[in-house]
Structure 1
């Protein structure tokens, strides 16, 4: 199972990278088997991203990052908040990807900022972006303001989001159902961890099934997600 983290933090050390690392650790810690974890630091790719816009060709490092992202079973993407939205570097990286690169791919969104007033950036900016790219965004996004570090609630949101991401990754890769890691700081129920995401069934029009006259049949959610990856 391959998990790729995309961090758009600019400073060293970076609170954006710190949040990304905590989300990755929580997700990998719940996995039933080994996780191939890769981290893409966009700060190191800024020049190659700019050149890609002007000449149409990715440099060696950018090409490797694009390959990691497109081949991932799941993504964790975290950006600092600039002017009430994602950073330009963050958006530029996803602009250079092929328009179908993230179709059906599970994505956990996160952001960091200096104040809690920007927390809706997850719903107003990041979620619409990845919905447009036809990724499958987990229900729980994680925003961390300066005052959230060490405060009650952040660890629980991280664990819940990690569980939801792993549930989607497991459904698509066919791995065994994950259980809570012994190192997980907060137990997460099946419903809040995202295991319920694999359970809902959606009725869609079809030819009448034997014994039915309403013209509907049930398609498991896992099959709908798998169809998006084709």
Structure 2
């Protein structure tokens, strides 16, 4: 499972990078299996990004960063707030990506700033940008002002956003507590399926019959019994 953080922080150390690291750690703790974590520091790619605009070709470092972002199973993007919006370096990196590179990709948006008054940058700037790129943006964005570090609330927002991202990463989310539907036995009689209208309708999408797991029947070694849709309807009316 590949998780990539894109950080547009400029200083060393960087609160933007720190927020990205905390989000990545929280997300990695909520997925099953090993996590291949990559961090793209845009500060180190600024010159290559500028050259890509003038000559149309990414340098070696930028090319590797683009490959990491486009192949990620989940993406965390963090920018400092400049002039009430994302930084120019942050926007320039996503400008050099192919227009379809992030289509359908789960993205967690985050930002840092000197004051809490800039928190709306998440919904007024970052969310529209990634909606335009057709990424799947998690509901919770995380903004950290200077006064938020060590204060109550930031850790909870990080955990909530990380859980939402983990749930969108393919085959990675730790299952929530509840009945294990995958291991529940499926009864062979038609009435066992048709007694739930939602299951009956979902089983007959666009066709007249479905295959229902059953006990092995005579002449069928695969253990499946084909049930005509008309019989399911009849069972519903009983």
Q: TM-score, normalised by structure 2?
A: 0.74
Structure with larger Rg = 2
Q: RMSD of aligned C-alpha atoms?
A: 2.3
Which residue does the alignment assign to 2:41? 41
Which residue does the alignment assign to 2:104? 104
Give per-residue Cα distances to partners, 1:13-56, cap 9 Å, x unaligned: 00000000000000011221110000000000000000000000
In the alignment, the residues of structure 2 paired with residue 33 and residue 156 of structure 1 have an alpha-carbon distance, to the nearest angstrom, of 24
Which residue does the alignment assign to 1:11? 11
Corresponding residue pairs, total = 187
Residues 65 and 208 (structure 1), Cα distance of their counterparts in 2 relative to 1, 3 Å cut: closer
In the alignment, the residues of structure 2 paired with residue 4 and residue 123 of structure 1 have an alpha-carbon distance, to the nearest angstrom, of 22
The reply to whether residue 127 of structure 1 matches residue 123 of structure 2 is no
In the alignment, the residues of structure 2 paired with residue 102 and residue 64 of structure 1 have an alpha-carbon distance, to the nearest angstrom, of 16
The reply to whether residue 164 of structure 1 matches residue 164 of structure 2 is yes
In the alignment, the residues of structure 2 paired with residue 31 and residue 130 of structure 1 have an alpha-carbon distance, to the nearest angstrom, of 23
Which residue does the alignment assign to 1:204? none
Query: Aligned with 1:99: secondary structure?
Result: coil
Deviation at 1:122, TM superposition (A): 0.1
The reply to whether residue 178 of structure 1 matches residue 174 of structure 2 is yes
Give per-residue Cα distances to partners, 1:97-126, cap 9 Å, x unaligned: 000000000000000000000000000000
In the alignment, the residues of structure 2 paired with residue 137 and residue 7 of structure 1 have an alpha-carbon distance, to the nearest angstrom, of 17
Which residue does the alignment assign to 2:192? none
Give per-residue Cα distances to partners, 1:135-158, cap 9 Å, x unaligned: 000000000000000000000000
Deviation at 1:5, TM superposition (A): 0.3
Unaligned runs of 5+ in 2: 179-197, 199-204, 209-228, 231-238
Q: TM-score, normalised by structure 1?
A: 0.77
Residues 209 and 179 (structure 1), Cα distance of their counterparts in 2 relative to 1, 3 Å cut: closer
Query: Aligned with 1:108: secondary structure?
Result: strand
Unaligned runs of 5+ in 1: 181-188, 191-200, 202-206, 213-230
